[in-house]
Amino acid sequence: MATVAEILTFVETLAPRSMKMDWDNVGLLCGSRNTPVAKVLVALDPFEGVCREAAQWGAELIVTHHPMIFQPLKAITDETSIGRSIQLLCRSGISAINAHTNLDCAPGGVNDILAKKLGLSDIKVIHPDGTDAQGRPYGLLRSGEVEEQSLEAFLSLVKQNLNCPGLRYVDGGKPVHRVAVGGGSCAGGMQEALDAGCDTFVTADVKYNQFWDARDLGLNLIDAGHFYTENPVTEYLCEKLREAFPEVEIKISETHGDCMKFFG
C-alpha cells in the first residue's frame, strides 16, 4: 500500500521543496512517513473542520496547500483551533502534508492553474526565480492574455470562472488585455506586474492603500478572494494524485469552503 512518504515524495515532484520561500514551512508537518495510506483528503487548508472530515471519513492523510503549522507552536492544547486539530490528527493516526509557496511557484502549480482557470493564453512566469529539472521557468506570478475587453467584462469573467460570490477592485483606467495573476496575498507584486507589461492584476487580501497605489500606477487591481484564487489547485492535486496512486481513494474536502461571505 502507498505510504505517506511515497505520497510526499510525489507531491514534491510536482512542487519541489527548493522552490519554497525561506520563511515557509512545508512537507510532513504532522504524523508519520511510514503510515500506509488508503484514503487521502485534499483541501486548501488543514483547518479543524477538514481534520474532522478526514477523521470521520477514515483518511490516513490530508494534503493541503496551507501549512498545518505556520507560527511555531509553544503548546498543543484544546484551547486553540490548531491545538485541537493536531490532537485530533494524532488521535486518529492521520498525517498532514502540504505544499505551499513551492506549489505557488512550481510550473503547473497554483498560479498556472489560476491563469488557466481565467482562460489566459501565452502564459509566462513573471520574474522567474530559476528553472526546474526539465528546464521550465518557475516563480511566483504569472501573466497571460485575454482578448482586449472592458474591465467590466473581465470582472464578469473572473467572478464566473472562479465561482466567487463577489470581487473588490479598482479601475486603473485601461481596458484589459495582459493580466497578471497571483493567488492569495500577492498585491506586493504590483510593480512587477506592470514591469511585465500587464494592465490588470488578479490577487487577494488587498489593503486600502494598495488599491490606491494601483490606481496611481494605472493598474486594474482585482481582489477575487484568497480562497477562490487558490482553491482551484486542489482539483489539480487530486487529479495528479489519482493518476499516481490509482489504488488510493482520493477526494477533495466536501465541507471546506471560504468562511468569509459578501453582503452587498
Q: Where do contacts with its own copies occur on this chain (CB under 8 A)?
A: 25, 27-34, 45, 47-48, 69, 71-81, 86-87, 90-91, 93, 95, 152, 155, 159, 165-171, 184-185, 204-208, 211-212, 215-216, 225-227, 259-264
Report helix, strand or coil for 97.
strand
Contacts of 227 (CB under 8 A, 6+ apart): 44, 164, 257, 258, 260
Which of 117/226 has CB closer to its own copies?
226
Question: Residue 208 and residue 138: Cα distance in Å, rounded?
Answer: 30
Which of 125/214 has CB closer to its own copies?
214
| Minimum CB–partner distance for residue 59 and its own copies (Å) | 17
Residue 85's nearest CA partner among 67, 102, 65 is 67
**181 and 153 Cβ atoms separated by less than 8 Å:** no
Question: Residue 85 and residue 90: Cα distance in Å, rounded?
Answer: 9
Question: Residue 184 and residue 111: Cα distance in Å, rounded?
Answer: 10
| Minimum CB–partner distance for residue 228 and its own copies (Å) | 10
| Minimum CB–partner distance for residue 48 and its own copies (Å) | 7
Which of 12/45 has CB closer to its own copies?
45
Which of 47/201 has CB closer to its own copies?
47
Which of 93/130 has CB closer to its own copies?
93
Contacts of 176 (CB under 8 A, 6+ apart): 146, 148, 149, 150, 151, 153, 154, 199, 200, 220
| Minimum CB–partner distance for residue 200 and its own copies (Å) | 13
Which of 206/241 has CB closer to its own copies?
206
| Minimum CB–partner distance for residue 220 and its own copies (Å) | 11
| Minimum CB–partner distance for residue 147 and its own copies (Å) | 19
Question: Residue 169 and residue 220: Cα distance in Å, rounded?
Answer: 7
